[in-house]
């Protein structure tokens, strides 16, 4: 059983994070994203990791008035004394339905990229067929709004490639996409979740930290919405609208 932490220790004179002196080695020298990666992974981030993680965080910070944003703004309406409560309420909706697919897809990409090169294509087809047979959606494919292909997907991949990504996980994503087209008989485009999975794996982030990356980006997004809610409130009107449009009925 562990009895220590390897992240941070503070004495009156020194705060040390992952072996570095916070004041002397980190403050003023690292960007937020570099510090986040150091804290998360326990080692200095590479240039490639930084570019990819920054691009991913920028990509998913905002998507408008999604359910988690509504929950956050409605919570502030009832509890204006607790900003952190409103942020927490918003993050609680960043769950499996919208935010879980990146890590699920990453597990599939790991299987493909981990196979011998000449077996990857067949494996991708097999994975797609399995999901079809068990009537499970392939995680990270299809989108209710962006039916013709999500514009963020190719952009993320281009950013990763320009930053020098080795390419095995992007190639695995392409194999899944091609297998989908072959098995299903029509193009079902990769969505932003699988693209995030592919580029974060290129950056050597394991599947199990992907939800954490999403939460950090969404936390920043929620803070912006709460600031708007404070200065141009809409939650009260939302409430009235919902009460009017979803009446009580008992028969």
Report, in Å, the least distance between residue 222 CB and a second copy. 8
Report, in Å, the least distance between residue 114 CB and a second copy. 20
User: Of 11 and 133, which has the nearer Cβ to a second copy?
Assistant: 11
As given in the structure block, the two tokens for residue 9 are 């220790």
User: Of 101 and 179, which has the nearer Cβ to a second copy?
Assistant: 101
Report, in Å, the least distance between residue 131 CB and a second copy. 19
Report yes or no: 191 and 149 within 8 Å, Cβ to Cβ: no
Report, in Å, the least distance between residue 182 CB and a second copy. 25
User: Of 118 and 246, which has the nearer Cβ to a second copy?
Assistant: 246
Report, in Å, the least distance between residue 149 CB and a second copy. 9
User: Of 8 and 122, which has the nearer Cβ to a second copy?
Assistant: 8
Nearest to 190 by CA among 155, 132, 150, 159: 150
User: Of 62 and 121, which has the nearer Cβ to a second copy?
Assistant: 62
Burial of 161 (0-12, 13-18, 19+ CB in 10 A): middle
Residues 6+ apart with CB under 8 A from 151: none
State the Cα–Cα distance between residues 206 and 34, nearest whole angstrom: 17
Q: Provide the phi-psi class of 140: left if phi over 0, else alpha when psi is between -120 and 50, else beta.
A: left
């Amino acid at each position: 059983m562990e009895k220590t932490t390897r992240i941070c220790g503070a004495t009156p004179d020194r705060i040390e994070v992952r072996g570095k002196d916070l004041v002397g080695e980190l403050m003023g020298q690292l960007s937020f994203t570099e510090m986040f990666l150091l804290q998360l992974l326990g080692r200095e981030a590479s240039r490639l990791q930084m570019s990819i993680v920054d691009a991913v965080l920028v990509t998913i910070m905002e998507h408008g008035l999604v359910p988690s944003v509504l929950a956050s703004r409605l919570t502030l309406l009832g509890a204006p004394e607790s900003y952190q409560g409103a942020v927490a309420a918003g993050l609680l909706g960043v769950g499996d339905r919208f935010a879980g697919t990146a890590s699920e897809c990453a597990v599939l990409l790991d299987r493909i990229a981990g196979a011998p090169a000449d077996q990857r294509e067949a494996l991708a087809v097999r994975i797609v067929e399995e999901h079809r047979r068990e009537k499970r959606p392939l995680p990270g494919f299809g989108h209710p709004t962006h039916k013709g292909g999500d514009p963020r997907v190719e952009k993320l991949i281009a950013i990763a490639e320009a930053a020098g990504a080795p390419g095995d996980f992007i190639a695995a994503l392409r194999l899944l996409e091609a297998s989908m087209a072959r098995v299903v008989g029509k193009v079902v485009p990769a969505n932003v979740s699988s693209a995030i999975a592919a580029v974060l794996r290129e950056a050597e982030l394991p599947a199990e930290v992907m939800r954490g990356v999403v939460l950090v980006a969404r936390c920043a997004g929620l803070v912006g919405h709460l600031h708007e809610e404070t200065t141009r409130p809409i939650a009260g009107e939302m409430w009235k609208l919902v009460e009017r449009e979803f009446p009580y009925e008992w028969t």
